[in-house]
Amino acid sequence: MPDLTTRPDVAGALGETGVGVPGYAHPLLAPVEWAELTRPGTPLHWAVLNVAGGPGDRPDPHCLEAAGRLKNAYGGAARSASAGGGGRATGGRVLGHLDLRHGSRDFGEIVSDAHRYLDWYKVDGYYLDRCPTDRIDLPEVRRVTATLEAVLDGAAHLVLGHGSHPYPGYAEVADQLVTFCGPWADYRWSQVAEWTADHPPQRFVHLVHGVPRSHLDEAMRIARWQGAGTVFFTDRSDRAAHGGGQTDPFQALPGYWDEIVSRIGPGVSE
């Protein structure tokens, strides 16, 4: 099993600032949201597919269709790009949702779900939700990410959903780290960890809910100042997302989605 100590040039793979969608609702409940991601010019880096707290017990035809449309809209998956010449796709990835439960999830369960996502939905990588942040948990997370990389033949895009700044060593075992996930009231006064300056912005993700339309420009400035290359801002509030995982505020489109797209611009290309 390979031991990941360095990551590829994620900056080159992702390009400019773009959007990462941490988990829209099921395509039956959010058809407009999934359709919007395929609109030409959308600066999408990736979107997380969460069928039923994971891949579910069997393939879901609605999720299959949504994932297929998204991948087709961006010219194929990162895995296909790698097979064709070693390059990675620059956007529009579909990531399977894997809940690490702050380090308490069984390793075998994680790998089993990863294989289901790949077999059923041909995902391009994984979003490891509720990922631990402490140094003591790093070896086990390294074991998980190395295995997931092997599952996708070295072409997996891996995002660690910490939600806050973790021990710096986590930057060496995944493509991207979610170093902020929370409300605008906290984000506007947040500070970036000094060690992040050693890495390009494309290594970091900020997910912020409750951002008023009038503060959207300010939120984008903060993301750039703090060095986050992938963002998701929404005016929706954290109504019921206290039971774990960042799902509720991010399940639907923000009211100013068109403004986000126009401000960031086409951040991905083939």
CA–CA distances in Å: residue 93 to residues 85, 97, 203, 237: 18, 13, 15, 26
What residues form DSSP beta bridges with 154? none
Radius of gyration of the chain (CA): 17
Residue 148 contacts residue 105 (beta carbons within 8 Å): no
Parts of the chain with a pLDDT under 50? 1-13, 77-89, 240-246, 267-270
Distance CA 76, CA 68 (A): 9
User: What pLDDT score was predicted for residue 170?
Assistant: 98
Residue whose C-alpha is closest to residue 110's, from 123, 129, 137, 92: 129
pTM above 0.75, yes or no: yes
Position 87 scores a pLDDT of 38
Helix (H, G, I), strand (E, B) or coil at 94: strand
Write the pLDDT tens digit of every residue in 181-236: 999 999 999 999 999 999 999 999 999 999 999 999 999 999 999 999 999 999 99
At CA 232, angle to CA 151 and CA 186, rounded to 5? 115
What pLDDT score does 90 carry?
A: 56
d(CA 110, CA 102): 13
pLDDT of residue 239: 61
- Cα–Cα distance, 187 to 78 (Å, whole number): 31
- Tokens 């990675």 correspond to 88
Nearest one of 39, 95, 30 to 67, comparing CA atoms: 95
N residues, the chain: 270
Dmax over CA atoms of the chain, in Å, equals: 49
